[in-house]
Chains A and B, each alone.
Chain A
Amino acid sequence: MNSTFIEVAYLVATGLFIFSLKWMNTPRTARRGVLSGVIAMLVAVGGTLLDPGILAGNYKWIALAIVLGTVFGVPLSWVPLTAVPQRTALSHAFGGLAAGLVGVAEFYTSFGEHGQGFTPFRIGALCLEVLLGFLTFTGSLMAAGKLQELKFIPSRPVVYRGQNLINFTLLGLAVLCCALLVANPERFQFLFPAVIALALTFGVLLILPIGGADMPTVISLLNSYAGLSAVAMGFVMDNKLLITAGALDGSSGLILSIIMCKAMNRSFANVLFGAFGQVQTSAGHAEARTVKSASPKDAVEILENASFVVIVPGYGMAVAQAQHRVREIYDELTERGITVKFAIHPVAGRMPGHMNVLLAEAEIPYEDLVEMDDINPDMSQCDVCLVIGANDVVNPAARNNKSSPIYGMPIIDADKAKTVLAIKRSMNPGFAGIENDLYFADQTLMVFGDAKAVTGEMARALAGEDGPGH
């Protein structure tokens, strides 16, 4: 009777998890989704604690572990929004670790039970759980370290000769060990620690060659792995709640990775094994080209005479902490009756949707955050396109220069605007090290300086001119 009750609790939790994700389809209902998720989790945990197999004496230890997890978890939710990608990577690492550890425990308890649990299906799932769990663990720690720009982890891609060969060999060895374990768990029991070690190593080596520009894809992919390791755990433990919740997470990670890959016009294989984002030194920039520059005051004058302004924010804006100044500019312009929209490229920021959160924090209404595909048809009507800290996502080379490494990547058509104002610290090429023709175009004016200083000056100029101007 008790176990039926637990199964029903799991069924309820599964339903609530699905609703939780369904309500994320609009910002209006999204917080209800969180509530639904919390209730589902409480039902799942409560149901599990009723399991007759749990010894009465162990509840105090479980309570202690839950308290500890809460103590770690609460401060992790206070991180600044620019650090959300790191926090997300770190939590993928925790998810992977939990799955891996449960897998190890399952493996060795099964030997305690005279090996009766070792059907090939179960041991196969167990190997998958441990492999995905531990590679997600170290891979996500590496990703978090790169995003946090820790000194001892190089954030530039690390490449060496035979890298892919070494990685594939390691993965092949791990798969071979798993195959042997499936074929005969008793005989090849000693290979199990090798699977763990190979998975841990593979996780590190997989992320080593990946540069900052690819982080959004990699985070999404690791998200998917963390979910799939929970699915594998469900297969091992014959627990349908683990399977459904893990599958929801796995498919979410998959969809986000596909969106990220499309946004950069690249394939999974290319992201993982292509080592993108290296500085190109051989590019022949022989002739020094001239650019036109403008002062923040000039920029303000141009903006005030526009009727439709599109702001293209890039991660540089968030790094400079300029989003609140940008909001002031937005306020001043909209008060003058100027239409202002933000054009959001899918890979603006360091994880999917990151830029939206950064702008929402600056209290910019979400109706004015427009996706690339929705804004591009309107770009020819745009009077002024203000580019702040964005570079590759507005580079027309992606459309018309077949030899460019970013050729084919969808971009925001900033070059179609009547005037382009680009705020930039210097003429150095951006993250991917690719020159941007937009800056040399006739309609472009460069506003040189730190994004925060420039936007601050512009906001003050707009606010100050209110009196004499009217």
Chain B
Amino acid sequence: MTTPHPAGFVHAGPRPECIAPAGEAHPPPLLASALVEPAPPPGAHAAHRPEVSAQEQVATLFVFMLATFVGLDVIRRVSRLLHTPLMSLTNAISAIAVVGSLLIAGQRHGADWNWINLLGLVAIVASVTNIVSGFLITDRMLKMFKKREARKP
């Protein structure tokens, strides 16, 4: 592992006694007791998740900041006529949470199938409901906005 995590925030693993002497000479009691907390149940399988380094975490903050500025700028130009459809469209877009829900529902968490997968499935239902109803109702509303017809003399 190339990136050091601050001591105390990362669980020491199944054999904490190997870590304690190697650490600081006098760790504060809170951190010390954290290090000897019971290990997670054996046999738990690690799900697919790459280690995230601190630099990558800052990179995600960059992405957030830039996306917010783009968002503010794009939204400010949206016609005021369309603020209701805008909100139902962004409802559908924020149902992008479906991506997280799919991963949670699909991955292995310990046993073949457990309650965590079930949470993921409920989250998929909620997100897909938003996606489907959000896009459909936005389109339904937008169809109603018509230009003035040329009046017959």
Q: Is the CB of A184 within 8 A of B34?
A: yes
Are A253 and B128 within 8 A (Cβ)? no
Within the complex, the shortest CB–CB distance from A176 to chain B, in Å, comes to 15
Whether the Cβ atoms of A243 and B67 lie closer than 8 Å is yes
Q: Does B132 contact A (CB under 8 A)?
A: yes
Question: Which residues of chain A are near B108, meaning CB under 8 Å?
Answer: 53, 55
Contact of A252 among B48, B71, B100, B110 (CB under 8 A): B71
A29 to chain B, nearest CB (A): 10
Q: Decide: A87 and B133 in contact? CB cutoff 8 A.
A: yes
Q: Is the interface of A mostly helix, strand, loop or mixed?
A: helix
The reply to whether B74 and A353 contact each other, CB–CB distance below 8 Å, is no
Instruction: For A115, list chain B residues within 8 Å (CB).
Output: 10-11, 40
Contact segment of A95-103, A311-319, A386-394, A446-454 = A95-103
**Is the CB–CB distance between A113 and B46 below 8 Å?**
yes
A-B contact count (CB 8 A): 427
B63 at the interface (CB under 8 A from A): yes
Contact yes or no, B83 A114, CB < 8 A: no
CB of A108 to closest CB in B, whole Å? 6
Q: Are B120 and A102 in contact (CB under 8 A)?
A: yes
* A69 in contact with B127 (CB, 8 Å): yes
- Are A334 and B151 CB-contacts (below 8 A) given A62-B102, A352-B83, A360-B146? yes
Of B100, B139, B146, B147, the contact of A233 (CB 8 Å cutoff): B100
Contact (A74, B132) CB under 8 Å given A27-B81, A58-B117: yes
User: Chain B's nearest CB lies how many Å from the CB of A236?
Assistant: 8
A459 CA / B134 CA spacing, docked (Å): 36
- A34: which of B46, B60, B129, B139 is its contact (CB, 8 Å)? B139
User: What residues on A are CB-neighbors of B101 within 8 Å?
Assistant: 98, 101-102
> Which residues of chain A are near B147, meaning CB under 8 Å?
365-367
Q: 0/1 per residue, A76-118, Cβ < 8 Å to B?
A: 1101010010011001101101110110111011011111111
Identify which of B63, B79, B87, B138 contacts A256 (C-beta below 8 A): B87
| Complex-state Cα separation, A290 to B52, whole angstroms | 73
A197 to B93 CA separation, bound complex (whole angstroms) = 27
Contact-residue size bin, chain A (C-beta under 8 Å from the other chain): 35 or more
Most buried by A among B93, B106, B147: B93
Interface string of A227-255 (1 = CB under 8 A from B): 10111011101111111111111111111
The answer to whether B96 and A353 have CB atoms under 8 Å apart is: no
B96, closest chain A residue (CB): A245
By a CB distance below 8 angstroms, the chain B residues around A26 are: 79
Contact residues in A for B121 (Cβ distance below 8 Å): 61-62, 64-65
A371 within 8 A of B: yes
Contact A22 B74 (CB under 8 A): yes
Other-chain residue from A33, A62, A220 in contact with B105 (beta carbon distance below 8 A) = A62
A444 within 8 A of B: no
* A223 lies within 8 A of chain B by Cβ: yes
- Please give the distance in Å from B36's CB to the nearest CB on chain A: 10
14 contacts between A and B (CB under 8 A): A21-B74, A34-B135, A98-B123, A98-B124, A98-B130, A105-B116, A109-B116, A112-B47, A112-B109, A184-B8, A227-B94, A351-B83, A351-B87, A352-B84
Residues of A at the B interface (CB closer than 8 Å) are 13-14, 17-18, 20-22, 24-27, 30-31, 33-34, 37-38, 40-41, 44-45, 48-49, 51-55, 57-59, 61-62, 64-66, 68-70, 72-74, 76-77, 79, 81, 84, 87-88, 91-92, 94-95, 97-99, 101-102, 104-106, 108-109, 111-122, 183-187, 219-220, 223, 226-227, 229-231, 233-235, 237-256, 259, 334-335, 344, 346, 351-354, 356-357, 360-361, 363, 365-369, 371
Task: List the 8 closest pairs (A to B, CB-CB), nearest first.
Answer: A69-B128, A353-B83, A73-B132, A115-B11, A53-B48, A54-B106, A251-B71, A77-B136
